[in-house]
Amino acid sequence: MRIVVLDGSTLNPGDLSWNHLEQLGEVKFYNRTAPEEICERADGAEAILVNKLGISAKTIEALQDLRYIGVTATGFNMVDIDAAARRRIPVCNVPTYGTRSVAQMVFAHILEFTQNVGHHDRTVRDEGRWAVCPDFCYWDYPMIELDGLTMGIVGLGRIGMTTARLALAFGMQVSAYDPYAQSASEEIRMVNLNQLFEQSDIISLHCPLTPDNEKLVNTERLSLMKSTAFLVNTSRGPLVDSEALAAALNSGQIAGAGLDVLEQEPPPKQHPLYTANNCRITPHISWATRSARERLLQTAVSNFAAFQQGQLQNVVNGIDSV
């Protein structure tokens, strides 16, 4: 089979091997593909693998040989899954590869707020302040202990539960909101959304993006938060109203925000959160540990191998047979 990987560089910038995929067919690799190049590069392909490249209904109709679409990510909103279903083309994603890595990034942001390691390292090495300090130590921000604080988790799926367990290991109290889940632990208290925003010292978002929860974090909900509270979003950028969050940070309504995702990626150069007070932004990298990417690649290949054998796994568009 002819397989085309259209945007492989984010998944594999060179530290992983595509060997197992190459054993399944004739593979053509592209690090990046512009939207206008898709049809030319994928012409004649029976299978395509995409990460964030948009695959529209028009593109699906144009690729007459196409039989399989593999998404090398969990999110699949960039593919018109209904158009694929009409042609009986399965769309398969990778749902579980990054759970621990994303939860780890949540606490990377949290610990940066509570300890300010990066800032103090710069004052020691770049500014030389420790060398001339009249005391044996100094700190520029309040040092915050997590033990006893309340972590509020919106969305109690795999990543939310893993984040909750890490919070419990730090001695935190954990509250959660999830309209589709019951508490899986006596240590997790289920609350409504307003209670979670009112009572939490740190709020971490772990829910999929739907039409109902777009801009879930808005002016009204930010106004419920404690002035000492922090918001962390490693889930989906459009869950947060960026303008409202920037206003809340700049006014001191909340203490800080750690974001690994924004509503547009890459974001514009003049994004309002770039200059917001106490806002830390990482470029959508919580998923990108080598271990997580290796699991992602293995599952993407496994999905395609199953398809070749007449089976399907991790299908997101309702196709149940090939």
Provide the domain count of the chain.
Answer: 2
- Please check whether residue 315 lies inside any domain of the structure: no
User: What CATH number has the domain bearing residue 84?
Assistant: 3.40.50.720
Q: Are residues 92 and 108 in the same domain?
A: no
Q: Are residues 72 and 130 in the same domain?
A: no
Q: Are residues 165 and 208 in the same domain?
A: yes
Q: Distances from the Cα of 199 to the Cαs of 149, 224, 229, in angstroms?
A: 10, 9, 9
Predicted confidence at residue 184, as pLDDT, reads: 64
What is the reported pTM? 0.91
- Please check whether residue 120 lies inside any domain of the structure: yes
- Residue 284 known to be catalytic: yes
Q: Are residues 143 and 272 in the same domain?
A: yes
Predicted confidence at residue 83, as pLDDT, reads: 97
Query: Which portions of the chain are predicted below pLDDT 50?
Result: none
Predicted confidence at residue 167, as pLDDT, reads: 98
Predicted confidence at residue 77, as pLDDT, reads: 87
Q: Are residues 22 and 153 in the same domain?
A: no
Q: Are residues 74 and 175 in the same domain?
A: no
Q: Are residues 20 and 158 in the same domain?
A: no
Can you tell me the distance from the alpha carbon of 87 to that of 61, in angstroms, rounded to the nearest whole number?
A: 8
Q: Pick the catalytic residue: 26, 243, 265, 290?
A: 265
Q: Are residues 12 and 129 in the same domain?
A: no
- Please check whether residue 42 lies inside any domain of the structure: yes
Predicted confidence at residue 183, as pLDDT, reads: 65
Q: Which domain holds residue 155?
A: 99-281
Q: Pick the catalytic residue: 236, 290, 293, 295?
A: 236
- Residue 236 known to be catalytic: yes
Predicted confidence at residue 103, as pLDDT, reads: 98
Q: Pick the catalytic residue: 109, 221, 284, 295?
A: 284
Q: Are residues 46 and 108 in the same domain?
A: no
